[in-house]
Amino acid sequence: MALFLQQVLNGLMIGSTYAIVALGFSLVFSVMRVVNMAHPEFFMAGAFGAYLTIRYVTANFFGVLAGGMLVAAVVGLVVERLAIRPVRGRYVLIPFIATSGVGLALQHLAERVFGSDPVAIPPVVPTVVYSLGPLSVTRMQLVTFAIAAVLMVGLRFYVRNTKWGRATRAVAERPEVAAAFGVDVDFVSRLTIGISALMAGAAGVSIGILYTSAWAFMGLLYGLKSFVCMLVAGNRHIEGVMVIGLLLGVLEALVSGYVTSTLRDAVAFGVLVVVLVVKPNGLFGSYSV
């Protein structure tokens, strides 16, 4: 029982980062009908942003977090400018291919700059372990979860209760009508990409610090998993994507704990296959494109 609870706890901590990466991915798809294949590189940019901030600016955790998110947001706006804006409104495969290209370029740019081996991120959060009975959790795990939770709640509030969030939902459903009522659709698109990049960047900072490294190709697996989360959840409710992200983390942790950790990364794809066979529109339903 203790092992089970411990793995669930570990899973929730990691799952929260899947959730925020997947949320941005799903948000961009809902609003812009763009499968942004460069999204995982926002995560990677966040981790390297953290590395650069620690090396050249500050080792204060909040400064590092802000630095990583900022770098990710800048990369996000560059991707929007290069690979999304020029092909706006085109068939869904065209931005898919364009963003794949820019994503690959970003990976190899990072490899050029930082080398093909992971770079070490020094610990900026002291290694403190909290125990509750048989369960233990590190401070950085809690920080990771807290950041993700704040971002999830914040995004939900933004989308539901603010003027620009409302405009974002309107653009997601009917971009032409939203424009005819005064919404600058291009601005909403940039805003949405920016928000998705900030969230993925925060996850990159957390994971970079948690695993003490940043790597040019670290986005690949994370990106695939967040893609899986979106497909499994469907993109109708952002809550669905959050829940699936958390569940995926838990499931992976249980498989590592009870079966073997080498199968951990296969879990997401196994779940995807099953869900696509049983409910092709995702568990919570989706908009048709």
Binding residues for other proteins (CB under 8 A):
163, 166-167, 169-170, 173-174, 176-185
Contact 48, 214 (CB under 8 A): yes
CB of 20 to other proteins, least distance (A): 23
Residue among 33 and 264 whose Cβ is closer to other proteins: 33
Between 237 and 264, CB nearer to other proteins: 237
State in angstroms the smallest separation of the CB of 185 from other proteins.
Answer: 7
The CA distance from 95 to 288, in Å, is 18
CB of 169 to other proteins, least distance (A): 6
- In the complex, what is the shortest distance from the CB of residue 289 to other proteins, in angstroms, rounded to a whole number? 15
Cβ pair 249, 15 in contact under 8 A: yes
Q: For residues 189 and 184, what is the distance between their CA atoms, to the nearest angstrom?
A: 9
d(C-alpha 52, C-alpha 75), whole Å: 14
Residue 167 CA to residue 159 CA, distance in Å, equals: 9
Q: Give one DSSP letter per residue of 228-241, joined into a string.
A: HHHHHH-SS-HHHH
Nearest to other proteins of 11, 282 (CB atom): 282
Residue 172: CB minimum distance to other proteins, A: 8
Q: Between residues 64 and 185, which has the closer beta carbon with respect to other proteins?
A: 185
Tell me which residue of 221, 225, 222, 220 sits closest to 272, measured CA to CA. 225
Integer angstrom CA distances of residue 104 from 28, 79, 100, 181, 265: 19, 12, 6, 38, 21
Residue (185 or 233) nearer to other proteins, CB: 185
Cβ atoms of residues 43 and 215 within 8 Å: no
As measured in angstroms, the least distance from the Cβ of 24 to other proteins is: 20
Give CA–CA dist 138/129, Å, rounded. Answer: 4
Nearer to other proteins, 62 or 181 (CB): 181
